[in-house]
Structure 1
Amino acid sequence: MMGGEQHAESYLELSNVPGYFLQDEEATDPAKFDYTSNFGLIERPYGTDADFDPDGRQTQWQRFEQHIRQLNAESDATTSYRVLFLGRHGQGYHNVAEDFYGTEAWDCYWSLQEGDEKGTWIDAHLTPLGVAQAQTAHSAWESQLAQGIPIPQSFYVSPLNRCLATANVTFSGLNVGFEPIIKENIRETIGLHTCDKRSTKAEIAAEYPLYTFEEGFTETDPLWDAQLRESNSARDARLLQAVREIVAGDSNIFISLTAHSGAITSILKVTGHRPFALTTGGVIPVVVMVRNVHGRAPVMEIEPPTTAPKCIAEEEVKQGVRTSVEIVGLDV
């Protein structure tokens, strides 16, 4: 800093732009939503159609891409529009275990273990069903590419194995220039659950040699804590910062992120999108306006991390015995 000059403080404001996808609309039930046909793209005209497609020969996706590119072309230097393709990983072995033992028993005991007699879920891998769900996403992308869906120009992936595998199955062989970047902070809620502790950098590199690590990616997991679990509000702040970092350092418009239910929940929240739960393997695009705002970013209220809840009937949980009164949802 020279001559006492000071740089004005600013931050990136992220806001969802509704009206393009069914998942934007309150009437769309996430439980009944099928992303595989067209990722929820709404059949509608755009203001750019008259010039771009006067004869009505372009597909909905082609007209959508032109519209988004035109929004960017007409925006001032402080504003841009991005399309984030948010993909949730396929079913992992931890998902099976939670369904098997029930959420209460999972949270208070089983999630803290590395596995059971059936296998492990530390840095949980995809189940055969999870692989099939990623293959479904692959087919959905293949179908939409034939309809002119804009190809993601950048690919970001959580460092957890289930996301690395899902992205690989989803995009490999599609001729989309799949060169994924592993980004630490788009991972699932951090702490306690062993399924959310990532493998070492060397192990990831050995299994996925074509993936690139973001700058500063460490050999061992710097975030996971065996005693404390990140609060939802802390996760929101982390994902907000992660997306801000992506859009600040990456000028591409169409961006793919392969992440987790918690991470996607937070991305939707901090961009002002309505809550929209994705099934394992699901994909939704969202349009986000990015605006460089002068001044300090609004302060987010961050709740402290939590410890594992106490099991109501610990021995029954460990033994896998259902007690309908004491351990609701335990089903073996």
Structure 2
Amino acid sequence: MLNLIVCTLLLAIAPVRGEQSTSTSFHYRPGFFVQGDSSQVVPTTNLPRMGLVEGKTWHDVQAEIDAKQREGVEVKLIVFLRHGEGIHNVAIAQYGAAWDTVGRDPKFTDAPLTALGMQQAGAASVVLNAAVADGLHLQHVVISPLERTLRTFTIAYQNQTAGITKEPMELAREILGVFTCDKRRSISEKRMEYPEVDFSSIASNEDPWWRADHRETDAEMKVRATKLLELIFDTTTAQTVGVVSHSVFGAALLRAIGHHEYALDTATFLPLLIERVKTD
């Protein structure tokens, strides 16, 4: 029985240790959002209409998804949201290079939002409400189970929960290891704090992914981001999926789909039209 448990845990953690996935690849489809145009200098804050190109609407995005589906091509709209400002963000700016030492302090474990971060999440809610009013139809939301992303979700999506399924997923977490801000508190605590969220898909109460002696590499993060996309494409029929996550994970996701580098500010949305290409 112990061997079975160990093997199961190793299989669960394997995607974050750099094992390559060869079953599919993912590509960003340009032409709908200004953030995807590398020839332009685009602000990294929330943009009007979430960055829809002039002349394009959310209905046009849905029409593109439907047209590709009729051709047998899998396309989904991922609406990425970075969490609001956390106490660790303030500390990193305050301590600079000394964060390499300070950031290991247990007091930063699973860093929560600051008061400003909560205000930012509230502003993101206004952006989301406007997009939904204009035709954005979110059907499912994936949430990193860290405190700052869960809190950002509950604030930013406060008016949009009807008809939307929500799922915390470990794969959507921030870069793993070393710094305690990225270590998850127990799921039993989170169930008490977020009774409206179903944590049943997370296997371990404690955090088996975070290690004090290993900081996840760029290559490992890209593999993990690809694995998250595979799960989203494989396990939900939703065509428009929100992802509430983190800056470094967001950068890995962009690399995984061939999108140019785009550093999101806190509590900022980034819509990504993504096509899955099956490989032999």
Question: Is the pair's TM-score, using the shorter chain for normalization, greater than 0.5?
Answer: yes
Contact 1:36 1:137 in 2 (8 A): no
Task: Confirm or deny: 8 A CA contact 1:183 1:214 kept in the other structure.
Answer: no
Q: Secondary structure at the match of 1:112?
A: coil
TM-score by length of 1: 0.75
SS of 1:288's equivalent in the other structure is: strand
Instruction: Choose from 165, 178, 185 the match for 1:192.
Output: 178
Q: Give the corresponding residue for 1:67.
A: 64
What does 1:135-214 align with in structure 2 at a 5 Å threshold?
A: 135-149=122-136, 151-174=137-160, 176-213=162-199
Larger % of helix: which? 2
Distance 1:67 1:242, change over 3 A: closer
Superposed, 1:99-138 pairs within 5 Å as 99-102=93-96, 104-107=97-100, 109-115=101-107, 121-138=108-125
The one-letter amino acid of 2:95's match is Y
Contact 1:184-1:217 at 8 Å conserved across structures? no
Q: Which has the bigger relative contact order, CA under 8 A and spacing at least 6?
A: 2
Unaligned runs of 5+ in 1: 1-8, 46-59, 116-120, 295-332
| Partner of residue 80 from structure 2, selected from 81, 86, 89 | 86
- Stretches of structure 2 that go unaligned for 5 or more consecutive residues are 1-20
Partner of 1:40: 51
- Compute the RMSD of aligned alpha carbons: 1.7
2:76 and 2:274 in contact (8 A); partners too: yes
Check 1:246–1:66 CA distance in 2 against 1; reply closer, same or farther (3 A cut). same
1:255 paired residue among 227, 241, 247: 241
Give the aligned partner of residue 206 of structure 2.
220
- Is 1:233 aligned to 2:244, yes or no? no
Code of the residue aligned with 2:98 in structure 1: it is: A
3-state SS of paired residue (2:270): strand
3-state SS of paired residue (2:238) = coil
Distance across 1 between alignment mates of 2:68 and 2:103: 45
Distance in 1, Cα, partners of 2:273 & 2:234: 16
Cross-structure match for 2:17: none
Say which of 20, 30, 47 aligns to 2:32. 20
Offset at residue 209 of structure 1 (A): 1.0
Q: How far did 1:242 drift?
A: 1.7
Identity %: 28
> After the TM superposition, which segments of 4 or more aligned residues of structure 1 sit over 4 Å from their partners?
none
State the AA in 2 paired with 1:85.
V
Which one-letter code corresponds to 1:106 in the other structure?
W
Aligned-partner Cα distance in 1 for 2:64–2:239: 12
- When the two structures are superposed, what TM-score results if normalisation uses the length of structure 2? 0.88
> Does 2:11 align with 1:11?
no
Give the SS at the match of 1:198.
coil
Shift of 1:175: 5.1
* Cα 1:230/1:175, change in 2 over 3 Å: closer
